[in-house]
Structure 1
Amino acid sequence: MGALDLRMARAPYAADAARSRGRVFAEPPSRSRSEFQRDRDRIIHSSAFRRLAHKTQVFVPYEGDHYRTRLTHSLEVGQIARSIARSLGLDDDLAEALALAHDLGHTPFAHAGEDALDALMEPYGGFDHNAQALRIVTRLERRYAGFDGLNLTFESLEGLVKHNGPLLRPDGAPLPVHAKRGLPSAIVEFNAAVDLELSKFASAEAQVAALADDIAYNAHDIDDGLRAGLLDLEQIGGGVEFLAEIKAEIRRLNPDLEPVRVVHELVRRLLTSFIEDAIDESGRRLAASGAASADAVRAMARPVIASSEPMVNVERTIKEFLFENLYRHPRLNRVRTEANEVICNLFHRFMKAPDEMPSNWARAAADFEIGSRGRARAICDYIAGMTDRYAILEHRRLFDEAPDLR
């Protein structure tokens, strides 16, 4: 029997690499790759992407070799995004590029590091990982002779910034999530030069990347929580009815299956359920929308890529279960406290003595006065780019006492 060909013709509402809105700095086209393939490859070859290998997803690297890092999570999100995009006739290269790039702006130590930096940067505009990703791909990566950043296409840049939805109301006012502080300065400044249409949705491919992130996050955190012994199969079965039903089906079909295989089968079936539901619901929405172009998708009043209402409820239940039983587990809370100490100590030390940083970062910070917004942002860029282990090593170099986050 021949191999099954799952390729589909591109739908009219798919982003079209041949009609991209282009790059900030004009470049000749590639002889072998589409514009979105070039974006994906630039992301993969970036320094920020490599550093994700040593940035925490949920468990710090010391916990073991088999837990997900930001890098492995991003690769898994990329696989899910490709599958969904291809099934819907979208540009799977753009969806994959955005999935791989969605965590570029994250700090060391997962959300503990982000929360710490955001609090430290409160007087200077705060910290937002999506805005940091934009800074990375437009300013901080320095790989090319003709420009800073990666010079990604408009479609990739808008997807990085808006994959979770518009940032502004149609009248230009910030949405509630940004009402208190306003939009992050990095987004405001870049948008002044390149209009990212912040009151509109991003492409369907960007929406796919966002949904793929949610799907991967829930399934794989269950997997890692079970591996770490912070969750157990009985607890999961009792806490989430949907998972209990999957587990019962596995046991019915395979009554003697060893526990480790039960876990893998549970996660695999959970992923399949969410992915297939996303394809079905998104297909219904796209068909009902009548969208005949990527711009028509952007102008919609609601996302065209989504889970069905029953699966949204399942996801909500799983998230509540994970917050209660995993993310706030005493073992992770202790690591979170120590990670906060590392980030805070480094930030205050560099604000007073920027020459303690590597020379290129020291020069960037020294261009601004002590206590200024510019100096704080330069130090924030340096710390946000650190891997977990580098942050710990820097802390040990500068302070007599250093948490080991074990």
Structure 2
Amino acid sequence: MFWGHVWSKNETLVFAETITMPAKKKGGKKGKGKGKKKKKIKGLLESPDELVKRLMKVYTTVCQDKLTAICPGIRKFLKECLDDNKLCVKFILEPIPDYDDSELSNVQLEPLIQALRNERYKYVKEIYVWDIVLQHTDVASLFGYKCILLFYRSCNLFSTLTVLCFDYNEFGDEGVYGIAKGLKNNRTLLSLSLCYCDLGITSGKLLGDTVATTALRELYLNGNNLESEGAVELIKLVTDNAKVEHYEREEAARLKSEEAAQVALDEKAKLMTLVNSGSDKISESGGEKEDETKSEKSGSAKSRKGGLTGKKKKKKGKKKKKKKEPPPPPAVGPWLHKLHLADNGIDAYSKGSTFAPVICMNLFKELIMHSDCLKELDLDDNLIGDLGGKEILEGLQQRKEFGLNSMKVSVTHRMMLPDTFSSIIKLGAGLKKKKKKKGKGKKKKK
């Protein structure tokens, strides 16, 4: 099961972010609600307060049918949006503290999702879940492929979801299985963060398959237990794809250089032919050619004058502004731009061979060498050793020789050879890390 606690409790709670209507003009009849004309947002057939009123009514009905309590914060801010003629775009659910009712269960996510779905409410930007136990069906209904496809065809609900954060939810490999199942064939999610979620080796395989079949570009997995085996499973498909693309780039560059060389040879041959044929004609023509050249020069001068006057007479037409085309949807495939695997037990003390970190870092070297889209790689707090550090350094050096874009890399400073660490930092400097949440950390291995 999933625990929806995502953000720090010390932060100020905001239950609904709203879209504010323009200021209303003074005047009209006195009295509450009299003489005020409700304004509509461009593109809406109804005023915002009508949409919110209907959503609040449906949400209340669904909660009654599901025998669950209504979230007080959601009800309060829906009412405020109704009074202020605003659209709610951000929702935060939290359970009622010290709740005790024999007939109704505490606040749940399902009624809200069903109300949004029934009302075709497509103005949601963010939904936060605080300390509420989520079943796999809840996650699938919120982020699953079938659900996204259904809403995309009808009202685009959640079609713009690009970031998903489940940090500090200790659901383990079972939870990742549910997330991977819900994200199957997803084409919108670009960033997934599962830091300190008690993930193991199995999660590496599950997430590797997810990256290969979705548009996911950023993966944050700090503070888990993927170890060397799980890390290898995670990047195996991505590395294979990067090597294929590198070979295709090299082959395209080779063919281009060969074509350019062939064109140069053809032009040289034509020039030599013209020179040889021209030298014979020059010796025969003599003075006749001089007269022809003089006449040609005078004729060309006249034509240039005529051309200039003709150009002045022409009126300049107004240039049509080209409409900017919308950006294409993100491509689906095994590409990673950012990968953070700090503190994941990638060392010689985990299960397997003593050389497991070296084997793992060798695969990372291949990824660094060949992936043009890779921008960030965080392997800090993993005891990869000097041999593993050399593999990373060689990958960065080869990347530079191949002319690929520079990238940011972070590794542990615990190496016997300081030159290796300093060289890695020099070639891959500038990585900014996510701040670790106070009071939370990775569970120690038993």
Q: TM-score, normalised by structure 2?
A: 0.19
Identify, as 1 or 2, the structure richer in helix.
1
More strand by share: 2
For the pair shown, the structure with the greater C-alpha radius of gyration is 2
Higher relative contact order (CA 8 A, sep 6+): 1
